A and B are shown apart, each in its own frame.
Chain A
Amino acid sequence: MIRNDVAITPELVKEHGLKPDEYERFVNLIGREPTITELGIVSAMWNEHCSYKSSRIHLRGLPTKAPWVIQGPGENAGVIDIGDGLACIFKMESHNHPSFIEPYQGAATGVGGILRDVFTMGARPIAALNFLRFGEPDHPKTPHLVSGVVAGIGGYGNSFGVPTVGGSVGFDKRYNGNILVNAMAVGLARTDEIWYAKATGIGNPIVYLGSKTGRDGIHGATMASAEFDDASEEKRPTVQVGDPFAEKLLLEACLELMQSGAVIAIQDMGAAGLTSSAVEMGAKGNLGIELDLDRVPCREEGMTAYEMMLSESQERMLMVLKPGMEQEAQAIFHKWGLDFAVIGKTTDTLRFVIKHEGEVKADLPIKELGDEAPLYDRPWVESPRQPVIAPDSVQAPVSEAEALLRLVGSPDQCSKRWVWEQYDHLILGNTVQTPGGDAAIVRVEDGPKGLALTTDVTPRYCEADPFEGGKQAVAEAWRNITAVGGLPLAITDNLNFASPERPESMGQFVGCLKGIGEACRVLDFPVVSGNVSLYNETNGQGILPTPAIGGVGLLDDVTVNASVAFKREGDAIILIGATQGWLGQSIYLRDICGREEGAPPPVDLVQERRNGEFVRQLIRSGQVDTVHDLSDGGIGLALAEMAIAGGVGASVTTAPEGLPLHAFLFGEDQARYLIAVDEDLAADILYEAGAVGIPAVTLGVTGGDALILPGRQAISLKQLKAAHEAWLPNYMAGKA
């Protein structure tokens, strides 16, 4: 009989984030009052972060399969086949709550966690990306959070030795109390050397690897599953501390150990540490697990079973080893100066048994800890429809040139150089396209292939129309990959939403997921991994619905690609895709007119696909090397970015009749690209587009040292560049 020395009171249950009915469910499941260790274990397994209890039934609707998908959601990361016997393994994950409380360590361990997810599967990380959202610039906490998060991401990735090649940074008052820090890692492995979490064999040794266990991060996952209030900063002790040096050693040791053939199964200790990793390995393999905590390497003395099971100390792994290989495995880990300890074994009992100091501290049914987690079909309401805003009803600016200059230098649209210069984006020597373009490109080993990588979503669209916004997020990732010449293959999604217990925000979640699913199906762009982060709200104020999409695409020949920079004078600038001048929810409407209104631009996925395939073929055939997708700020902002990046001006003289100039320049109609191409080729391209019914029209020509807009409005490149580069460094220096 298991000894119970702590009375489990309703207060204690509440402190563990369990609702009374959830606790009752657990008691019924085990048929007795749990020990404190068991309560800790179930709180870790049944919180939102680990159990997906509010999101699971909706996630089922996402397409996750394609001929090139080797592993979809449910493992440490998704795996796709990229040919030549190679697999790309990738995932994005949030570290929102901890990063708000302790920005440097929160962001750093977010990066560490996602890198570990990727190399746990046998992949060497080759690129990192991120997706960041902060509160409004004027909020007193924002500069401190930006500074800490960026330093944390850099501090971890730079030391670990992975190039951080892309990302997204934005500001909105709706993130004042809940910032978003989503980190994505991309790795490479051989298709026949991929490692999974599923344990096999009875009586096989379970091995603890990596750093020692301390008291840091206890209840991290529970904290990440609760909304914030004014006392949230008191939760700082629940944030873990990262050690990228230990992680680098762990990477090298794990990959070396995998090569030795000693590994049966491997699982990293992330959220809910030892508990979650051990349960996962056993449950997936239909096996019981028995752990002897006296053998766990600890950093501090006198740690209890409860503390060890819930610690979220970083840079730790759990493995099931082939019996008899312990010596060899230990030698590899000791060479790298890491802890190695056999702490348990697999059993045929299907029980999760924890022993400590000669006593059984927990004895739970292992499958039920995962399978019997509560599952909620939470009530939700559809977001109210927003009216379509007619272009004519939107105020014209004093001058389009002045409006463009303001947009180019606005917090959301300005250059993020200040951020990505703090990330080592060049290490490994394979970064073909650096941050600042549509998608990053990294070469695969010595070539000829390359990967195109991006992170995207337009949260204001998602709020105004979750379904269209969800579609748009996927479409934009697909478009960004296409714009550099990549064939989009798969996505990882990081679903950041407010409390699922409010029907409005649950409705946003449901709507966005439907849109994401729809776009993934039409664009053949399945979801292979992801993460759900709910309860992003403070004192009842939720974030904008933000399903960040991390996209991966393939370039068969990495030397054949396109970038946004104008490269020559005298190139024809051609607009691909139909323009109606959609200003609802546009950046122009928000930042120039001060109106956050209307329906967002609808996404015609069939058109998206056709236009994109046309552009990709132009790049791949070597005809076009200058492409920019159109998104925030429309044609105007794209022209400015292309001119700034290339140091070559442009003159756009043609604007269509019957459309206000500001709607033409700043409308955010989807499925569009700007390309710049040798004038001799332009006629052919226009003809080809016409032949297959793709809207294409010449807007102007590159050249000169200014951007000239219709109506002879000119902005010098110098002015554009200064505006684009100035805002963020000035802001961070306290001057903006």
Chain B
Amino acid sequence: MKSAVIVFPGSNREGDVVRALKSAGSQAEKVWHAETELPQGTDLVVLPGGFSYGDYLRCGAIAGRATVMDAVRAHAARGGLVLGICNGFQILCESGLLPGILMRNANLKFICHRQFLRVERNDTAFTRAYAKGQAIDVCVAHGEGNYTADDETLKRLEGEGLVAFRYSDAQAHITTDANRNGSMNSIAGIYSDKLNVLGMMPHPENLIEDLVGGTDGRGLFESLVSSFSRAA
């Protein structure tokens, strides 16, 4: 599998996600935001975490309009896989690839902590290695992760099974305490209509080794690699 990790000025977790992709068996290449095309044969596009353009405007607003995003939108339109993590999720929302928006955290502070997520479905290219309803232990690190959408969008996401992950406790229970950034319906990640675009606030790429906290994040990258080798 070939992955293209888009680097915007201010991206800062691109190295982390490259490491996770490679350790799961994917090739991974960094692609500068000013490019107009993706590398030949790109299977997966990753928009990594960080503070693109400083996030001085709405988070992801400028990156969502960067040159390379036309190529990313075209890739998604062809059914290509796109993963946006943290700032990447914000960029996906700003670029129109995913609905809704990420607001300031409920406590108005940046929060970095370990966080359980409930895997809502395991029949997508991103989650095959997990069990449906499994609680995975990853981490969050964001100031604006409070997922917000209008009622209609929310109803559609829920109705069509497009919620990928929800903030939960260790037993996969959805609780208010577990939803620290205040997201609607405890949403931590969502899919596009065709399930080929995933945006999520938490960082699976930082939980890929026992030495640094655990391996629950690996499943996401292994799912991608395995689903791709299956498709190919």
| A interface residues (Cβ-Cβ under 8 A, vs B) | 151, 154-155, 158-161, 243-246, 248-249, 336-337, 420-432, 434, 443, 447, 558-559
Measured between alpha carbons, how far is A447 from B110 in the docked complex, in Å? 29
A157 CB, nearest partner CB in chain B, Å: 10
Contact at B54–A243, with CB atoms within 8 Å? yes
Q: Please pick, from A154, A159, A243, A429, the residue contacting B19 in the complex, using a CB distance under 8 A.
A: A429
Pick out which of these stretches binds chain A: B65-73, B148-156, B192-200, B203-211.
B203-211
Contact of A248 with B12 in the complex, beta carbons under 8 Å? yes
Residues 36-66 (chain B) with a chain A CB within 8 angstroms = 49-51, 53-56
Q: With a CB–CB cut-off of 8 A, which chain A residues contact B161?
A: none
A249 closest partner in B (C-beta) = B9
Q: Give 1 or 0 for each of B88-120: 1 = CB within 8 Å of chain A CB.
A: 000000000000000000000111110000000
Q: Which interface class (under 10, 10 to 19, 20 to 34, 35 or more) fits B? A: 20 to 34
How far apart sit A421 and B115, CA to CA, in the bound complex (Å)?
12
Q: How far is the CB of B6 from chain A (nearest CB, A)?
A: 15
Task: List B contacts of A425 (CB < 8 A).
Answer: 112
CA distance A559 to B113 in the complex (A): 22
| Nearest chain A CB to B201 CB, angstrom units | 13
Q: Is B79 an interface residue (CB 8 A)?
A: no
Tell me if B141 counts as interface (CB < 8 A to partner A): yes
Contact check, B112 vs A429: say whether CB atoms are below 8 A apart: no
Residues of chain A within 8 A (CB-CB) of B206 are 426-427, 429
Of the residues A154, A245, A443, contact of B9 by C-beta under 8 Å: A245
Contact of A443 among B13, B55, B143, B211 (CB under 8 A): B211
In the complex, what residue of chain B is closest to A124 when comparing beta carbons? Answer: B15
Interface residues of B (CB under 8 A from A): 9-10, 12-13, 15-16, 19-20, 49-51, 53-56, 109-113, 139, 141, 143, 203, 205-206, 208-209, 211-213
Question: Closest Cβ of chain B: how far from A263's Cβ, in Å?
Answer: 22
The 8 closest A-B pairs by CB, nearest first: A161-B12, A245-B54, A159-B51, A424-B141, A424-B112, A429-B16, A429-B206, A426-B206
The distance in angstroms between the C-alpha atoms of A244 and B109, with both chains bound, is: 17
Q: Which of A154, A243, A249, A558 contacts B211 (CB 8 A)?
A: A558
**In contact, A426 and B12 (Cβ under 8 angstroms):** no
Residues of B within 8 A of A336 (CB): 9
Q: Give the residue name and chain of the B residue nearest to A418 (CB).
A: B109
Chain B nearest CB: distance from A293 CB in Å?
28
Measured between alpha carbons, how far is A431 from B19 in the docked complex, in Å?
Answer: 15
Flag if A427 contacts B12 (CB, 8 Å): yes
Q: How far is the CB of A246 from chain B (nearest CB, A)?
A: 8
- The answer to whether B10 touches A245 (Cβ under 8 A) is yes
Q: Given the complex of chains A and B, what is the CA–CA distance between A443 and B139 in angstroms?
A: 18
* Interface Cβ pair total, 8 Å cutoff: 86
For B205, give the chain A residue with the smallest CB separation.
A429
Q: Which residues of B contact A245 (CB under 8 A)?
A: 9-10, 51, 53-56
Chain B residues with CB under 8 Å of A422's CB are 109-112
CB distance from A57 to the nearest CB of B (A): 43
Q: How far is the CB of B145 from chain A (nearest CB, A)?
A: 13
- CB-based contact B13/A427 at 8 Å: yes
Known A-B contacts: A245-B9, A424-B141, A430-B212. Give 8 more (CB < 8 A). Answer: A154-B110, A159-B51, A245-B53, A245-B54, A249-B9, A426-B206, A426-B212, A427-B141
For residue B56, which residues in chain A have a CB less than 8 angstroms away from its CB? 245
B141 contacts across to A, CB distance below 8 A: 158, 424, 426-427
Question: Do A426 and B203 contact each other (CB < 8 Å), given the known contacts A159-B55, A161-B13, A245-B53?
Answer: yes
A/B interface sample: 21 pairs, CB < 8 A: A151-B109, A158-B141, A158-B143, A159-B10, A159-B51, A161-B13, A245-B51, A245-B56, A248-B9, A248-B51, A336-B9, A420-B112, A421-B111, A423-B110, A424-B110, A426-B141, A426-B206, A427-B12, A429-B206, A432-B212, A558-B211
Contacts of B9 in A (CB 8 A): 245, 248-249, 336-337
B residues less than 8 Å from A434 (CB atoms): 213
Contact A427 B16 (CB under 8 A): yes
User: When the two chains form their complex, are residues A429 and B208 in contact, meaning their CB atoms are under 8 A apart?
Assistant: yes
The residue in A249, A422, A425, A429 that gathers the most chain B C-beta atoms within 10 A of its C-beta is A429
Q: Closest Cβ of chain B: how far from A198's Cβ, in Å?
A: 31
Query: How far apart are B89's CB and chain A's nearest CB, in angstroms?
Result: 16
Complex Cα spacing A244 to B50, Å: 11
Across the interface, name the chain A residue whose C-beta is closest to B15: A428
CA distance A159 to B19 in the complex (A): 20
**Do A244 and B51 have beta carbons less than 8 Å apart?**
yes
Nearest residue, chain B, Cβ from A337? B9
Q: How far is the CA of A246 from the CA of B53 in the complex (A)?
A: 9
The interface residues of chain B lying within 8 Å CB-to-CB of A246 are: 54
Most buried by B among A249, A424, A432: A424
Contacts of A429 in B (CB 8 A): 16, 19-20, 205-206, 208-209, 212
Residues of B within 8 Å of A559, CB to CB, are 211
Residues of chain A within 8 A of B49, CB atoms compared: 427
Q: Which of B20, B113, B205 has most chain A Cβ within 10 Å?
A: B113
Residue in A closest to B32 when the chains form the complex, CB atoms: A335
**CA of A243 to CA of B49 in the docked complex: distance in angstroms?**
18
